[in-house]
Structure 1
Amino acid sequence: MKSCLIVDDSSVVRKVARRILEDLDYIVDEAEDGQEAFDKCRQEMPDVVLLDREMPVLGGLEFLKMLRGYNGGQAPRVIYMVTENDVGAVAMALKAGASDYMMKPFDRFQLEAKFVAPEEAAV
């Protein structure tokens, strides 16, 4: 099974994303901020990181830079979440190593589209 680390300071976002991803057969872990997420990645690297931009302690962009600089930190697919249509923030995240991005708030369809390959969705 694939694993996903959901990194968001909102417990509601984490709960909603967890429910959707578990339905897609992901093993899910959660972190409330970038520092907690980095600590978890050092223990066990997930396959995918669903990463919020704005968080206390260590924000999403800072976490992303640390992750990509860490041994093995190039492996996870990182989906960067932004709340406003800020092209500059998305561009900085992609430059720092984000694999993809999505807008918040999201619904089940939008999140599943980021995690299910097109050929799997057709089945």
Structure 2
Amino acid sequence: MAKRVLVVEDNELNLKLFCDLLRAHEYAAEPVRDGREALDRARAFAPDLIVMDIQMPYVTGHELIVALKADEGLRDIPVMAVTAYAGRDDEERIRAAGAAAYVSKPISLARFMDAVGALV
């Protein structure tokens, strides 16, 4: 059974890249374009991992991580933040919210897949 990855990303090109890359490595990838839909989709899809952008409109990735970790049914799903934020303080804040991994954009495809593999 393929591991399931929910991908939350508002940029269409990045969303397609991440999903295509995951599918090429035999993961089941489920795209979500808006953080407002992510909690419901996570409950329905039951992912093994959530990959998410941090800088999104409406609900930021940071807010979404906090909401995921507060939800009894979702809190144990590892979260990998993929973001253009690259400052040390940003990474610490994102990890403190509950992200298990942090990958900065532009991504290295190998580093991205290594991080995914380490979490699932």
| Corresponding position of 2:43 | 42
- Report the CA distance between 1:103 and its aligned residue: 0.6
Q: Percent identity?
A: 26
| Corresponding position of 1:28 | 29
CA distance in structure 1 between the aligned counterparts of 2:115 and 2:40, rounded to whole angstroms: 25
- Report the CA distance between 1:43 and its aligned residue: 2.1
SS at match of 1:94: helix
SS at match of 1:14: helix
Kindly report the root-mean-square deviation, in angstroms, between the aligned alpha carbons of the 2 structures.
1.3
CA distance in structure 2 between the aligned counterparts of 1:26 and 1:79, rounded to whole angstroms: 15
SS at match of 1:57: coil
Which amino acid in 2 is paired with 1:30?
Answer: P
Retained in 2: the 8 A contact 1:47–1:75? Answer: no
Tell me the TM-score normalised to structure 1 length: 0.88
- Report the CA distance between 1:8 and its aligned residue: 0.8
| Corresponding position of 1:53 | 54
- Report the CA distance between 1:5 and its aligned residue: 0.7
| Corresponding position of 1:88 | 89
CA distance in structure 2 between the aligned counterparts of 1:107 and 1:94, rounded to whole angstroms: 20
Kindly indicate whether residue 114 of structure 2 is the aligned counterpart of residue 113 of structure 1. Answer: yes
CA distance in structure 2 between the aligned counterparts of 1:19 and 1:29, rounded to whole angstroms: 10
Kindly indicate whether residue 74 of structure 2 is the aligned counterpart of residue 73 of structure 1. Answer: yes
Larger Rg computed on CA atoms? 1
- Report the CA distance between 1:49 and its aligned residue: 0.7
Q: How many residue pairs were aligned?
A: 117
The unaligned stretches of length 5 or more in structure 1 are: 118-123
